[in-house]
Chain A
Amino acid sequence: MVDVLKKSIWVFHLNSGSCNGCDIEVLDVFTPRPDFERFGVKLVPSPRHADAIALTGPITRAMVPKVVEAIKALPEPKIVLAIGACACGGGIWHDTYVVVGGIDEFYKILKEEYGMDPPTTIYIPGCPAKPEALIYAAGILADIIKQKQRRREDVIREEDEEKRKIETIIREEIGSRHFLPKIIVKRGPREGSV
């Protein structure tokens, strides 16, 4: 993480096709109970003042040039906060034709079409992202905690293990005598069919 930005992070909030759920969460972390300002975080209305750009939403295709412009307008060093499930990986829109589908897909476009390197990114999942998750992100920014990210291989291995466990349980259940026998429903031929 860039040292300069640890204590004072000014955030420019950009809705890149969100359903407004995450936008409301971004606004309500500045209310008395979560109080984001105590970490030195401030919402600024102009991208020129900002250190971080908060993207909410799966980035619709129409929004791509605007998001690129906004990221360009930020002075270096800059950070991207991907807020919510949609911004992190497309969420429920991951295979919809109107959206790019998450920040990683967007970075591919950024690299191929605009020739820009992706900035440092912090992923804040949740649908919508909880205020606690956003505070956690502030902790990551301030270098108080490390971001918990797992490698893809680890995730696949864990999923396989989980699957195997479930399969063994089912097999054992089938082998045990308490397991109910399969009920076979017999139906007569449908009326009218030959």
Chain B
Amino acid sequence: MTLATIFYAIGFPLLGIILGLLYKGIDRKISARMTSRIGPPIRQPFWDVGKLLIKETVVPENAVAWIFNVMPIVALASSMTLLLYIPFGIIKAPLEGYGDLVVILYLLTLQALAMAIGGFSAGSPFASVGAQREMILMMSYEMPLAIVITGFALIYKSFSLSTIALTPVWTLVGPVGWIGLLLLLAALLIVTPAELAKLPFDIAEAETEIAEGLLSEYSGRNLALFYLSDAVRSFAMVALEVALFFPFTFSQGFGLQFSEPVSYIIEGLWFLAKVLILYILAVTLVRTSFARFRIEQASRLFWTYVNIMALLGLILVALEVM
């Protein structure tokens, strides 16, 4: 039990929550500006969570109470654990060496699974429909995601994220591999909104059709935990993409050298800026520009087009590497 362990145990989740909520606030503000509104202040998500934590928590009569209450905690815990696997700039990931990309794939699935189980246990028809949609959507987008991760395993001959973050993937392949990687990146960017249940793919939480779907019976503390887990996972997912595809450090990119403590701060900020840019590109712009897909449209999109794109990328990468 060293000081570093305690910092990682307490500091990292707190940092994750703060960053997640901050990015959510920026996302809402930019989305509002895009539709020429003023938008809520950037600190609005903090107030939302604070309010939800203080409000009464209702457990419906038909619900399986213990599953209903446990699932928000599982969702938040899986998001937090996911965050602990992601290298933060040049600071190494706290759980480095204890798991690899496959664990990350499972953790990404676990949160969606927890939400679906919570929805099924709520005993409400809206929540049931939402949970079924979530399961179908999960079956659709997991395949392209797994293909992307297989592509990385082919290039590095390893599933370890620390090896991947060490050298940028673009320097390891030739022109054919570049095209393959671009295809993989595009597939991953299309998967991102589905993974985070954001607008073109928020079919499971469709507000207008099924009253927030699987969240419809959650209130108070439980809803706050889901809100937090969503915020943290959005940040972690985009941070993972940055770690996979854009691990370029500030000093590499601009050819500058800093002393030890300053470089940590600058690289951290540089990492946050990269995550913010990718967050806006992959989540906010898409969320504001597109309308919701129907479930069978989303399924077809992932199983045919995105899958073909990802497989093509994988083949090109494999041709280059082998």
- Chain A interface main SS type: loop
Whether the Cβ atoms of B35 and A4 lie closer than 8 Å is: no
Question: Which of B49-57, B283-291, B296-304 interfaces with chain A?
Answer: B49-57
- The yes or no answer to A77 lying at the interface (CB within 8 A) is yes
- The yes or no answer to B44 lying at the interface (CB within 8 A) is yes
Interface size on B, residues (CB 8 A): 30
On whether A48 and B51 interact (CB within 8 A), knowing A32-B35, A37-B32, the answer reads no
Residues on B with C-beta less than 8 A from A48 are: 58, 216-219, 223
Residues on B with C-beta less than 8 A from A77 are: 55-56
The docked-state distance in angstroms from the alpha carbon of A77 to that of B51 is 10
On whether A75 and B211 interact (CB within 8 A), knowing A40-B48, A46-B216, A49-B219, the answer reads no
Whether the Cβ atoms of B38 and A35 lie closer than 8 Å is: yes
**Residue of A73, A75, A76 most packed against chain B (CB within 10 A):** A75
Whether the Cβ atoms of A8 and B51 lie closer than 8 Å is: yes
The docked-state distance in angstroms from the alpha carbon of A77 to that of B55 is 7
The residues in A between 30 and 64 inclusive whose CB is less than 8 angstroms from any CB of B are 32, 35, 37-40, 44-46, 48-49, 51
The residue of chain A having its C-beta at the shortest distance from the C-beta of B31 within the complex is A37
- Chain B interface main SS type: loop
Whether the Cβ atoms of B219 and A45 lie closer than 8 Å is: no
Whether the Cβ atoms of A32 and B36 lie closer than 8 Å is: yes
Number of A-B contacts (CB under 8 A): 73
| Shortest CB distance A74–B (Å) | 9
| Shortest CB distance B317–A (Å) | 43
Residues on B with C-beta less than 8 A from A49 are: 212, 215, 218-219, 223
Residues on A with C-beta less than 8 A from B207 are: 44-45
- The yes or no answer to B220 lying at the interface (CB within 8 A) is yes
The residues in B between 1 and 60 inclusive whose CB is less than 8 angstroms from any CB of A are 32, 35-41, 44, 47-48, 50-51, 54-58
Whether the Cβ atoms of B48 and A8 lie closer than 8 Å is: yes
Across the interface, A75 reaches (CB within 8 A) one of B32, B35, B215, B220, namely: B220
Whether the Cβ atoms of B37 and A38 lie closer than 8 Å is: yes
| Shortest CB distance B65–A (Å) | 15
Residues on B with C-beta less than 8 A from A37 are: 32, 37, 39-40
The docked-state distance in angstroms from the alpha carbon of A21 to that of B208 is 20
The residue of chain A having its C-beta at the shortest distance from the C-beta of B44 within the complex is A40
| Shortest CB distance B311–A (Å) | 38
Binding site for A on B (CB under 8 A): 32, 35-41, 44, 47-48, 50-51, 54-58, 126, 207-208, 211-212, 215-220, 223
Across the A-B interface, give the 9 residue pairs with the lowest CB-CB distance, nearest first.
Answer: A75-B56, A7-B47, A48-B219, A45-B211, A76-B56, A46-B216, A35-B37, A8-B47, A38-B38
